């Protein structure tokens, strides 16, 4: 279970202090899915970064199974990034010097959960069987996106954080990739928090929330 309580985050800019998150509350049960929406600049990526342990909040708490993430040391946060989460960000974050198979295996080993059967299953379901020996630069945008999803799920993380994971695909491909992502998330036993600007895609997740004026409004299905 992920619980976010009264999270605040500001940035210092040349114009002064910019308050972005001003008391964000959120709950995400294990195995469930949540779409995070909100206008450009509302702080969606900022929230994702805090949940991923890539940045620290000014105040408030992030609890993972009742354990406060912000109380962790830098090495504790690094462990959360390695083992607890899977990231699908807009720039696919694939390792360019590794082929597709090695990208997936690397992530699974990093998480300490290498399982060749699960990797084979991911590759087959994501339609990657024919491109396993290719390097990221030899893949189309859609293929890279599917590798990024496979890589994020390779270590069966507790939480998948996805920032517009189908952003560069057309409508039909987006629907298809999202279906696959949600099925694989369920099979991995993960929860998913997905940032999207699309009402249509958001409607496919169990919950939707909107970030507005630094706070979250939750809408349940
Ligand atoms: N490191 C930073 N330093 C200063 N300002 C920042 C920093 N990161 C983000 N911001 C500002 O914080 C606000 C929220 O940014 P964020 O990227 O979280 O928005 P977003 O909702 O993800 O936007 P989009 O939908 O356009 O991706 C923006 O005004 C942005 O300019």
pLDDT tens digits, one per residue of 138-153: 999 889 989 999 999 9
* Ligand 1 pocket, residues with Cβ under 6 angstroms: 11, 13, 18, 20, 38, 40-46
CATH number of the 2-220 domain? 3.40.50.300
* Cα distance between residue 49 and residue 45, in whole Å: 6
As beta bridge partners, residue 64 has: 2, 67
pLDDT at position 90 over 80? no
Q: 179-186: long-range contacts (C-beta < 8 A, 24 or more apart)? A: 179/204, 180/125, 180/126, 180/146, 180/149, 181/149, 182/33, 183/125, 184/122, 184/125, 184/126, 184/149, 184/153, 185/33, 185/153, 185/160, 186/31
pLDDT score of 92: 67
Per-residue pLDDT tens for 14-71? Answer: 999 999 999 999 999 999 999 999 999 999 999 999 999 999 999 999 999 999 998 8
φ, ψ (nearest 5 deg) of residue 160: -100, 125
Does the pLDDT of residue 220 top 70, yes or no? no
CA–centroid distance, residue 45 to ligand 1 (Å): 7
The best mutation among 19, 20, 48, 90 to test binding of ligand 1, ranked by most ligand atoms within 8 Å of the C-beta, falls on 20
Query: From CA 159, how far away is CA 62, in angstroms rounded?
Result: 13
pLDDT digits (tens, 9 = 90+) for 195-207: 999 999 999 999 9
Atom of ligand 1 lying closest to residue 43 CA:
18
Domain ranges of the chain: 2-220
Mutate-to-test residue for ligand 1 from 10, 13, 42, highest number of ligand atoms within 8 A of CB: 42
Give the model's confidence band at 221: pLDDT under 50 very low, under 70 low, under 90 confident, else very high: low
């Amino acid at each position: 279970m992920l619980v976010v309580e009264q999270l605040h985050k500001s940035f210092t800019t040349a114009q002064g202090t910019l308050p972005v998150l001003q008391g964000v509350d959120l709950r995400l049960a294990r195995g469930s899915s949540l779409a995070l929406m909100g206008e450009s600049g509302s702080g969606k990526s900022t929230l994702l970064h805090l949940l991923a342990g890539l940045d620290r909040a000014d105040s408030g708490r992030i609890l993972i199974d009742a354990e406060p993430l912000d109380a962790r040391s830098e090495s504790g946060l690094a462990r959360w990034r390695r083992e607890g989460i899977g990231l699908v960000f807009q720039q696919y974050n694939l390792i360019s010097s590794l082929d597709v198979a090695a990208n997936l295996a690397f992530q699974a080993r990093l998480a300490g959960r290498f399982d060749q059967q699960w990797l084979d299953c991911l590759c087959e379901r994501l339609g990657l069987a024919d491109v396993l020996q290719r390097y990221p630069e030899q893949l189309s945008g859609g293929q890279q996106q599917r590798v990024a999803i496979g890589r994020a799920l390779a270590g069966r993380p507790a939480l998948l954080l996805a920032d517009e994971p189908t952003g560069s695909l057309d409508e039909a491909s987006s629907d298809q990739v999202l279906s696959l992502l949600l099925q694989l998330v369920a099979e991995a036993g993960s929860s998913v928090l997905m940032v999207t600007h699309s009402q249509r895609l958001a409607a496919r997740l169990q919950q939707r929330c909107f970030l507005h004026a630094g706070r979250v409004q939750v809408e349940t299905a």
